[in-house]
Amino acid sequence: MKLIRFGNPGQEKPGLQLPDGRRIDASAYGSDYDESFFGGDGLALLSTWAAEHADSAPTIDDSTRLASCIARPSKIICVGLNYADHAKEAGAEIPKEPILFFKATSALCGPNDQVIIPRKSEKTDWEVELAIVIGKKASYVSESNALQHVAGYALHNDYSEREWQLERGGQWVKGKSCDTFAPLGPFLATPDEIPDPHNLKLWLKLNGETLQNSSTAQMIFNVPQVISYISQFMTLLPGDLISTGTPPGVGMGIKPDPIFLKPGDTVELGVDGLGTQKQSAIAAP
């Protein structure tokens, strides 16, 4: 199944993208895609609902805004420097264990929403990533059981303000948490749609030029390792989001002169099987 959410900010409704590409309103099912949905067997119940009602459910117009494909989670946890080539371009050592940081959940937005360059930002940058949505509470999970805790996968652009991340005092959260810095979607794909999350091409273009072009096969710590590792430090709740890191090709890594986002720029990105996103950059009002 491919789960979508749609509608204006603050009025989002759950929906589904069907195998034929049609998008339908699933709000008659009765629950948004949140912690109680994922924790309460919502995926199985939604699948049963869809088998009976998908054909008669209202279709969503193509002009309707797509929202983040999940409701705001309890946590967005990101893995830093999880591709060796990206660690190198960032001038960092290859991590011996996963680097973790948080992103404010208020950064979450729709896959094609405009990205807002924050006030006083000079170094707004992009990061195409494979994101994992947790389907079942996870605490002290083993690597061999980790995939049982996955609700699905989605495309994420982990926008980052590099000065605030790296030059403004010791922790990355300031540079990762601005509004619109976490476009998620267009859809959440359940694991049956993504048989091997470790063999997906991922790419990103700035104004039509390909800057990131890699594969999740290049990740240092894979999906089960990341879930198991995080669950040793905190409880992952249903609906939580984990972003697994970005390959090389971010703006700060471009030699000799880094490139950062300007108003009017267009960013397009995709991961195999998880659709594409497109954002245009605007200055903060």
* Binding footprint of Zn ion on the chain (CB under 5 A): 127, 158, 246
Neighbours of 210 (CB within 10 A): 11
Which residue stretches of 147-212 are H helix?
162-166
Smallest gap from Cβ 157 to Zn ion, in A, equals: 9
Please identify, using beta-carbon distances, which residue of 15 and 98 lies nearer to Zn ion: 98
Dist. CA 77–CA 223, nearest whole Å: 13
Please identify, using beta-carbon distances, which residue of 157 and 190 lies nearer to Zn ion: 157
Smallest gap from Cβ 137 to Zn ion, in A, equals: 24
Please identify, using beta-carbon distances, which residue of 75 and 137 lies nearer to Zn ion: 75
111 contacts: CB under 8 Å, gap ≥ 6 = 66, 68, 69, 155, 183, 184, 185, 186, 275, 276, 277, 278
Strands (E), the chain: 2-6, 13-17, 23-25, 66-67, 76-80, 99-103, 108-109, 115-117, 124-125, 128-134, 150-157, 160-161, 182-183, 188-189, 201-206, 209-215, 241-243, 266-271, 276-283
Smallest gap from Cβ 206 to Zn ion, in A, equals: 16
Please identify, using beta-carbon distances, which residue of 57 and 76 lies nearer to Zn ion: 76
Which single residue brings its beta carbon nearest to Zn ion? 158
β-pairing, 160-161 vs 124-125, is antiparallel
Please identify, using beta-carbon distances, which residue of 152 and 247 lies nearer to Zn ion: 247
Smallest gap from Cβ 81 to Zn ion, in A, equals: 9
Please identify, using beta-carbon distances, which residue of 60 and 81 lies nearer to Zn ion: 81
Please identify, using beta-carbon distances, which residue of 5 and 103 lies nearer to Zn ion: 103
Smallest gap from Cβ 244 to Zn ion, in A, equals: 8
**DSSP class of 190:** P
Smallest gap from Cβ 60 to Zn ion, in A, equals: 30
Dist. CA 144–CA 228, nearest whole Å: 9
> Tokens in use for 281?
């950059």
Smallest gap from Cβ 26 to Zn ion, in A, equals: 30
